[in-house]
Amino acid sequence: MASPVSPNKESHGAYAAAQRRIVERSSSEYATSLASEAGAESDASQDSHADQASTSRRNSTESDRTSISSGESEVLPSYEGPLEDGFKRVDKPKRFFSIGRIFKTVWFEPGGDDTPARRSDIDWTESCPPYYEQRPYAKFRWFVVVRRRLHHSLCFSITASAGPGAARASRGRPIDFVVLHSSAVEPPDPFEGEGITRAPIAIIIEDEEAYISPLARIDCARIYTVEDNLQVLKVGRVHPDWLPKLEEYFKEAAA
């Protein structure tokens, strides 16, 4: 996700940046916004030589993904360096991973088929030796905790919609998605044709650099197991008044 924060209504530029930020920071497998696609095309024209060397690794914004190693001219993907400030292993997971907690973490999944629709949104771990000719892929994911367990949490993921028909394109059903919004503003309407019928959920942002976009959605179809020992970045939490709705959606998903 894509990074959830309330858009600044006093500044159209800040509002537009908020819409782009969720796509640029989340690397959502479901979709990227038109704004981020335009940014990717612009970056590609400026960094054509770097693109030729690392086309398969490039994500939506090349300038955010590359860094120059000291003393050398080699251009390296930024994901080969350390995580940004703020990521850490939680000292008191039972307290941190409470129901409604929203956080960001690096997430690995099986690569599966190498389809063009998925390659544009992921970082392929080409340096990782294949296991029986299979490779994983890695990206940032946003999660909201729906259940606490002894050494792990059960979570819904936060994704970014691409507009009408996005639920079908992301292998989900319209009923599985929920609009996410800052508690400081009114919830945005889903796109026409998106088919979302569930009530939206409001959140409290606790990361000054996080932004929530009108594209933000909770995917209630898949429940993820997230271990306590991961390095995570705190984003915020579901507003207490909306926790009953989150509980309702979890029970429906687990039924």
Look at the chain and report how many structural domains it folds into.
1
Residue 174 lies in a domain: yes
CB atoms within 10 A of CB 72: 8
CA-based angle 235:238:241, to the nearest 5? 155
Q: pLDDT at residue 245 above 60? A: yes
Cα–Cα distance measured from residue 21 to residue 25, given in angstroms and rounded to the nearest whole number: 6
Is residue 226 within 8 A of residue 36, CB to CB? The reply is no
Amino acid 125: pLDDT: 63
Amino acid 35: pLDDT: 38
Strand 177-182 relative to strand 123-124, pairing: unpaired
Residue 6 lies in a domain: no
190-233 residue pLDDT tens: 988 888 999 999 999 998 888 888 889 999 999 999 999 999 99
Average confidence (pLDDT) over 126-139: 78
Residue 247 lies in a domain: yes
pLDDT band at residue 53 using 50, 70 and 90 as cut-offs: very low
Residue 5 lies in a domain: no
Cα–Cα distance measured from residue 57 to residue 104, given in angstroms and rounded to the nearest whole number: 21
- Does the predicted TM-score (pTM) go above 0.85? no
Average confidence (pLDDT) over 58-84: 49
Residue 2 lies in a domain: no
Amino acid 19: pLDDT: 40
Q: Which domain holds residue 38?
A: 12-254
183-200 residue pLDDT tens: 999 999 998 888 899 999
Residue 7 lies in a domain: no
Amino acid 242: pLDDT: 98
Among 189, 154, 192, 194, smallest CA distance to 177 is for 194
Is residue 236 within 8 A of residue 4, CB to CB? The reply is yes
Interacting residues of 158 by C-beta distance below 8 A, sequence separation 6+:
1, 2, 4, 26, 102, 141, 142, 143, 144, 180, 216, 217, 218, 219
Residue 231 lies in a domain: yes
What average pLDDT does the structure give for the chain?
73
pLDDT band at residue 123 using 50, 70 and 90 as cut-offs: low
Comparing 244 with 69, which gets the higher pLDDT? 244
Residue 55 lies in a domain: yes
Q: Which tokens is 11 given?
A: 């500044």
Q: pLDDT at residue 104 above 50? A: yes
Amino acid 244: pLDDT: 98
